[in-house]
């Protein structure tokens, strides 16, 4: 009986990550959003720029980093405007009903919203039907959060 309980406890530990809801923001093991890249820079500099620890802000349970005090102030004023869609998870993966990490270099702004992808290769798949895959991602995202 004791062995059965130990086996069930071990199974619960292994399966729990697959049964839990996703965190609203994709973070590193240290709780940093979008691998420490500045979300505002995608809009202002049109490229990924690494953020600095000195310019950090806690929002939605994650630490967001910025390249400058100006970018930090812009984000603080309107975080939803600059934060990536789908919590910074791969937009293509969310459109398929699951989550995946991102490569900060695989990005696109569509209708004023930032989308990130797992890799440049995956981004090519996503770009074949951006409107359709955004719609699928919008439908899947709430389900992924409540799993």
Per-domain residue ranges of the chain: 24-81, 84-147
pLDDT for residue 123: 97
Choose among 20, 25, 3: nearest CA to 116: 25
**The two three-digit tokens of residue 76, written as one number:** 């603080």
What are the phi and psi torsion angles at 28 (to 5°)?
Answer: -75, 175
pLDDT digits (tens, 9 = 90+) for 72-130: 999 999 999 999 999 999 999 999 999 999 999 999 999 999 999 999 999 999 999 99
Q: Which long-range contacts (CB under 8 A, 24 or more apart) does 34-38 make?
A: 34/64, 34/84, 34/88, 34/102, 34/104, 34/116, 35/102, 35/104, 36/65, 37/65, 37/104, 38/65, 38/66, 38/67, 38/71
Distance CA 53, CA 42 (A): 18
pTM of the model: 0.85
The pLDDT > 70 percentage for the chain reads: 85
Look over the chain and give the mean of its residue pLDDT values, rounded to a whole number: 89
CB 49 within 8 A of CB 67: yes
**pLDDT band, residue 12 (cuts 50/70/90):** very low
**pLDDT band, residue 146 (cuts 50/70/90):** confident
- Res. 14: pLDDT tops 60: no
């Amino acid at each position: 009986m004791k062995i059965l309980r130990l086996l069930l406890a071990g199974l619960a530990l292994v399966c729990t990550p697959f049964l839990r809801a996703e965190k609203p923001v994709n973070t590193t093991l240290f709780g940093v959003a979008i691998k420490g890249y500045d979300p505002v820079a995608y809009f202002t500099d049109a490229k990924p720029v690494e953020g600095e620890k000195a310019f950090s802000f806690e929002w939605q349970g994650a630490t967001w980093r910025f390249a400058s005090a100006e970018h930090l102030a812009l984000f603080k004023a309107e975080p939803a405007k600059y934060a990536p869609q789908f919590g910074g998870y791969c937009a293509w993966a969310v459109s398929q009903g699951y989550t995946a990490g991102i490569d900060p270099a695989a990005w696109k702004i569509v209708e004023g919203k930032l989308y990130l992808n797992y890799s440049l290769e995956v981004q090519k798949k996503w770009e074949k039907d951006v409107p359709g895959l955004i719609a699928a991602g919008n439908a899947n995202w709430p389900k992924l959060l409540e799993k």
